[in-house]
């Protein structure tokens, strides 16, 4: 029961993280491909792209919370020492998560495992742990504009030289499902959010409103620049067999899921901020109802990893249409039971113990969780 009353956890973030995991279940397990607002049967397609982006923004918040939150340890006499320990802790976490991601990818499922990308973004965030919220927001905004053409150019070059499909670094940074170069914008945005007073109702309200504005702006401009004749095409960076060396600049327009355009980055960042803001506002008051989702979020690394393993065991081919519902129902039942009886998720427990001991040595009462 101690894990449920843990004051170091922000309930709204766990609820948002739980929604992100459930959304990724859908993206992997049969959610419709195309969202048509006039057709309710397609509304499940909203999970594509946006769930993983919400997960990445929440990862940025976690990085900030692990490095002092809004204070950045500035009010401590041992601030420099604490920042150094936070860097070690985050670096070790990143390495462990990367290894887990490699293991899950080796299962050979159709899922593009996000954990390896997630870990690399953690490592790249380490030198920036001292930045303030405003700086991080500016960096995220500028990068949302600069990164898409950089990724497009690099992907075109990689395709021309035949290194797009067999080079791990190229895949992680440029041509993969979650190209780190572009996705750092989401992490920096989340780090900026993590430097705010997330326990403040006023901050949560502003976060929801700003998120709504970003979503309207990003998706509005994205829809305006979408070629209706190409709306049904699946986006892919031009690092594929037969790609030409001339960049297709039209790929920088529109807002399709995983398109990596500025409009998608801005709009999906807004959706993430909106979801997080709303979750912060309602999580405590509605905790009895939201506890199953909160529990998924509190055990997100374990739940995500187990769902990839289950996918590999159960679906040698494409999953059936009801797989999303069964996976979600199973998680909504088992995750709360685990938390009520055993507390922290199994993989979270291992990662926390190893990273904390690497940074602080043997457990002590003064070690922040």
pLDDT single digits (tens) 346-359: 999 999 999 999 98
Q: Per-residue confidence at 261, pLDDT binned at 50, 70, 90? A: very high
> Does 367 reside within a domain?
no
State the total domains in the chain.
1
3-state helix, strand and coil shares in percent for the chain, rounded to the nearest 5: 70, 0, 30
Residue 225: closest CA among 260, 257, 246, 252: 252
Asked if the model's pLDDT at residue 368 lies above 60, the reply is no
The C-alpha atoms of residue 143 and residue 146 are separated, in whole angstroms, by: 5
Enclosing domain of residue 218: 11-360
pLDDT, averaged across the chain: 87
- Work out the angle between the directed axes of helices 79-105 and 300-314 (0-180°, nearest 10): 10
Winning range, highest mean pLDDT, from 145-149, 166-170, 362-366 = 145-149
Q: Per-residue confidence at 165, pLDDT binned at 50, 70, 90? A: low
pLDDT value, residue 364 = 52
Contact partners, residue 228, CB within 8 Å, separation at least 6? none
Asked if the model's pLDDT at residue 237 lies above 60, the reply is no
> Does 298 reside within a domain?
yes
> Does 310 reside within a domain?
yes
Above pLDDT 90, what percent of the chain? Answer: 64
Residue 182: closest CA among 218, 220, 146, 225: 146
DSSP 322: T
> Does 333 reside within a domain?
yes
> Does 6 reside within a domain?
no
Contact partners, residue 32, CB within 8 Å, separation at least 6? 41, 42, 43, 44, 45
Listed range (79-83, 128-132, 299-303) with the worst mean pLDDT: 79-83
Asked if the model's pLDDT at residue 125 lies above 90, the reply is yes
Three-state secondary-structure class, residue 35:
coil
> Does 104 reside within a domain?
yes
Asked if the model's pLDDT at residue 234 lies above 60, the reply is no
pLDDT value, residue 148 = 95
Q: Could you list the beta-strand ranges (E) of 176-289.
A: none
> Does 235 reside within a domain?
yes
Mean pLDDT, residues 77-81 taken together:
74
Q: Per-residue confidence at 3, pLDDT binned at 50, 70, 90? A: low
pLDDT value, residue 235 = 38
248 vs 97: which has the higher pLDDT: 97
pLDDT value, residue 6 = 62
> Does 267 reside within a domain?
yes
| Alpha-carbon distances of 11 from 33, 73, 207, 227, 291, rounded to whole Å | 31, 22, 16, 41, 9
State the Cα angle at 179 between 173 and 180, rounded to 5°. Answer: 65
């Amino acid at each position: 029961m101690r894990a449920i009353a843990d004051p170091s956890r922000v309930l709204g973030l766990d609820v948002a993280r739980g929604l992100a995991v459930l959304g990724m279940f859908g993206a992997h397990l049969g959610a419709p491909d195309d969202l048509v607002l006039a057709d309710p049967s397609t509304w499940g397609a909203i999970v594509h792209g946006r769930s993983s982006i919400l997960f990445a923004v929440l990862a940025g918040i976690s990085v900030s919370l692990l490095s002092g939150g809004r204070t950045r340890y500035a009010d401590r006499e041992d601030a420099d020492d604490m920042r150094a320990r936070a860097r070690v802790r985050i670096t070790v976490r990143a390495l462990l998560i990367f290894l887990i991601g490699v293991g899950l990818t080796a299962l050979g499922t159709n899922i593009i495992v996000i954990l390896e990308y997630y870990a690399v973004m953690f490592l790249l965030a380490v030198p920036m742990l001292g930045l303030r919220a405003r700086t991080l927001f500016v960096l995220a905004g500028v990068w949302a504009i600069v990164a898409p053409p950089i990724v497009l150019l690099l992907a075109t070059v990689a395709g021309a030289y035949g290194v797009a499909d067999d080079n791990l670094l190229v895949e992680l940074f440029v041509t993969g499902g979650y190209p780190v170069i572009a996705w750092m914008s989401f992490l920096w945005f989340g780090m900026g959010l993590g430097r705010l007073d997330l326990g403040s109702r006023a901050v949560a309200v502003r976060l929801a409103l700003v998120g709504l504005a970003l979503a309207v702006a990003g998706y509005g401009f994205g829809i305006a620049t979408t070629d209706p004749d190409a709306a049904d095409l699946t986006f892919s960076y031009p690092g594929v067999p037969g790609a030409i060396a001339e960049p297709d600049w039209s790929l920088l327009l529109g807002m399709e899921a995983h398109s990596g355009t500025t409009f998608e980055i801005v709009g999906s960042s807004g959706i993430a901020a909106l979801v997080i803001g709303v979750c912060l506002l309602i999580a405590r008051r509605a905790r009895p109802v939201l506890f199953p989702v909160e529990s998924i979020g509190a055990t997100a690394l374990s739940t995500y990893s187990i769902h990839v393993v289950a996918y590999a065991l159960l679906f040698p081919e494409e999953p059936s249409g009801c797989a999303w519902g069964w996976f979600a129902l199973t998680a909504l039942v088992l995750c709360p039971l685990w938390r009520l009886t055993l507390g922290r998720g199994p993989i979270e427990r291992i990662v926390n113990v190893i990273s904390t001991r690497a940074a602080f040595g043997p457990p002590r009462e003064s070690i922040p969780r």
